[in-house]
Amino acid sequence: MSAITRLNRKLVLEEAQRTSDGAGGYVETWVPLGTLWASVEALSGFEGSRDFVTVSRVPMRIHVRGAPVGSPRRPKPDQRFTEGSRTYRILSVAEADAQGHYLICHAQEEVSS
């Protein structure tokens, strides 16, 4: 059995929604779209600084079951996965195999310290 088929982590797929704040701006909230089983693989990370805070960025490779383009179960860039207090921002999505049985999501986990 390959690592792709060992979908042993339960991730919540979320999408950002903007609502008016009543003062000409907006508030962004994350809305759950559903739960997907996945395999999560951490790649080489790096550390940087942003707004006087040290931020560690860890690229992730996340495999999920395939879904057709346009399906609400198919992850898209700018959505995110959450797993408890962990958040993985989705950067890109592509088929992991020729038949489209699995998708590979390149994502990034950011951790502030």
pLDDT of residue 34: 94
CA angle, 31 then 20 then 83, to 5°: 20
Strands 9-20, 102-112: pairing is: unpaired
| Segment 10-67, tens digit of pLDDT | 999 999 999 888 888 889 899 999 999 999 998 876 666 666 666 677 899 999 999 9
pLDDT of residue 1: 39
Higher-confidence residue: 111 or 88?
88
pLDDT of residue 82: 95
CATH 2.40.10.270 fits 3-112, yes or no: yes
